[in-house]
Structure 1
Amino acid sequence: MAKAKPNTAQVAASLAEPLLEQMGLRLWDIRFEKEGGVWFLRFFIDKEGGVDINDCERFSRAIDPVLDAADPIEQSYCLEVSSPGVERELTRPWHFEENLGRKVNARLIRAKNGIREFSGILESYEDGVAVIRDEENDMTLSVAKSEAAYVRLQDDFDYSKGEDQ
């Protein structure tokens, strides 16, 4: 059986990995997607303590000539580099494993036991199945990654407190 040809995002990720490592960054996610009539190559980068606009700009300037030289994308596209955000989507097994014990929000593609959206503590992740404990409703749900529209970290920052408090 022939090995599947890597898709555009996989090729771009492999070009980016050495740069990211050199810069002390890591690739959280990458997407090559079309919105309207425009294609976007989106890198979501992260590092310990989080990234800022300078990290995004630095990586964008570094990856742009690498992509131009390799020319892995046939059509024109817009390059975007950003943080995955505080409510980042968990898409890869290591995302789930790294965030065990944290609060998450999940939305199912189809309701399960009458529930489509819920929040709780990510208790475990194994073989593509996340176990989320909803303490408020005293229940635990097992959700296969294939059943979820998304699983995202929940922003638990207390916005009622000022910076000085």
Structure 2
Amino acid sequence: MKLSTKVAELTQIIEPAVTACDVSLWGIEFVPQGRKSLLRIYIEALPEDKADGKQVTIEDCATVTHQVGGVLDVHDPIAGEYMLEVSSPGLDRSFFSAEQLHDYIGQTVSVRLIHAIGQGSQKRRKLTGELVSIDNNTLVLNENNEAVSVMLDNIDKANLVYQFD
């Protein structure tokens, strides 16, 4: 779950602007698409506000869009045209750091790996299961009643799998 150099640079520029809008930065996706790139910013209610049941609103997204747009105009870190999107992470949220996963132990997550794990014909790059534990180097999923350990530096993408009650 390593950030690209470009996303790390954008995070340094964008995070203070997002925080100034009384929300927190959940993550950034930057997708270069030829002459027009896509910059998607995910915002979350501040932890103390989430405890009170506050959610991200459309007004929060509009405020962050305006604030971040101004900051990006000044710093100009993206060559060419780009489209800016701001939203909440949603029910099937992507995880951008291992620290974010700690709050989701006991829930179902899906991970896509950089390098396949397993033996022979059982090698796989996609896993889905209950997040059992996470430490500095490894996460453990319970997939079909089997504990599967995954090195954090082998995770390309991780998402929460929304479960209907």
**Matched-pair identity in %:** 30
Match for residue 127 of structure 1? 136
Q: Match for 1:145: what amino acid?
A: L
Find the aligned partners of 1:72 and 1:61 in 2 and give their Cα distance.
Answer: 17
| Residue 150 (structure 2) aligns with | 143
Give, in whole Å, the separation in 2 of the partners of 1:8 and 1:149.
16
Using structure 1 for the length normalisation, give the TM-score.
Answer: 0.77
CA distance 1:25–1:37, change in 2 (3 Å): same
Q: Which stretches in structure 2 are left out of the alignment for 5+ residues?
A: none
Q: 1:37/1:16 Cα in 2 relative to 1: closer, same or farther (>3 Å)? A: closer
Relative contact order: is structure 1 or structure 2 higher (C-alpha 8 Å, sep ≥ 6)? 2
Larger Rg: 1
SS at match of 1:122: strand
TM-score, normalised to structure 2, is 0.77
Structure 1, gaps ≥5 residues long: 1-5, 159-165
Q: Distance in 2 between matches of 1:154 and 1:16?
A: 28
Kindly tell me: are residues 103 and 22 of structure 1, through their superposed partners in 2, closer, same or farther at Cα, counting changes over 3 Å? same
Report deviation, 1:14.
2.1
* Matching residue of 2:18: 20
Helix, strand or coil at the partner of 1:77: strand
**Partner letter of residue 40 of structure 1?**
L
1:162 maps to what in 2? Answer: none
Q: Distance in 1 between matches of 2:9 and 2:156?
A: 25
Equivalent in 65, 68, 75 of residue 63 of structure 1: 68
Where does residue 112 of structure 1 map in the other structure?
A: 118
| 2:92 pairs with one of 87, 93, 96 | 87
Structure with bigger helix share is: 2
**Counterpart amino acid of residue 112 in structure 1:** G
Q: For the Cα contact (< 8 Å) 2:17–2:71, is it kept in 1?
A: no
Aligned residue pairs, count: 151
